[in-house]
Amino acid sequence: MEFTLGSEKEEIQERAFDIGIIGAGPAGLTAGIYAARAKLKTIIFEKVVVGGLAAATDKIENYPGFNKGISGEELTSLMEKQAKYFGVKIFSEGVLDIDTQPNSKVLKTDRGDFTVKSVIISSGTSPKSLNVPGEKKFRGKGISYCATCDAPFFQDKNIAVIGCGNSGIQEGLYLLKFVKKITFIEFLPYMTAEKILQDRIRSHKNVEFLLNSQLTSFEGDNNLSGIKVKDRETGKEKLISVDGAFVYVGLLPNTDFLRGKVELDDAGFVKTSGLLETSVKGIFAAGDVRTTPLRQVATAVGDGALAAEMAVKYIEGR
């Protein structure tokens, strides 16, 4: 499932800003709030949806201040309103390339170039594909990567969730509001989700767990009708009938446009210093897109604040 922007694309006439932020997830929105409050002209570029992957999360329970949790859509909407209140411009386009010049950076988009003094990369991540037979064929025809987007299509159906990490279990809990049964497939011989999430999912009777199992293919004619799963201990393979499958097997950084521009690690995440500096002066990175041991809304918000502060200091000291 791909997000689409609900409103028409805003046209921005001004082409020169102090700070350009790439990505409007929690890190980018927070950076925008801090930069704008420092009285710097700030623009955020977002090619998909404001709020990023966090906006598609049904319930966020580990962000401070909401004892009963809050939906990702509501939380990121509040962040967006706050950023706009302080004057941040949000431009519905992605950045295709960064041209680094001696005293400025040029951000290239499909609707023209923008000149900024400093850049904050907060382009986030995208769900990782399994790259098994049938995945491309049935994407959008039974295969989804977003429970909150597509759960209603599977009312009273049998589905599979691939991955038993936090995302898989958390989204599975949401899917149980709609579906008849979930079969969880996990490559490892154990779940990696937080214990509280494991306890919650196991309390439901209409769930089954196939641990130490590998999904080998998606099956069907025009639409998904089954998955083939191999037991990694015995090597035996079986076909399981399902009407849908939700894939949560990890994240890929949205950094293709950065290759050759800033230093990336082997997985493609942006390398940063403790002050969130990249390998290029005046370019900083924040949130899930950078090399970090924890990717949560809370850490993204902290990154956004620090990256903005460092960008402000960089501009002041130029």
Q: Which residues does the annotation mark as catalytic?
A: 146, 149-150
Question: Residue type at 30?
Answer: T
β pairing state of 207-210 and 42-45: unpaired
211 phi/psi in degrees, rounded to 5: -85, 165
Helix or strand (DSSP H, E) at 167: helix 166-175
User: CA quadruple 121, 126, 129, 135: dihedral positive or negative?
Assistant: negative
CB 244 within 8 Å of CB 155: no
CA distance 195 to 193: 6
85 phi/psi in degrees, rounded to 5: -60, -35
Cα first-last separation, the chain: 43
CB 245 within 8 Å of CB 261: no
CB 159 within 8 Å of CB 242: yes
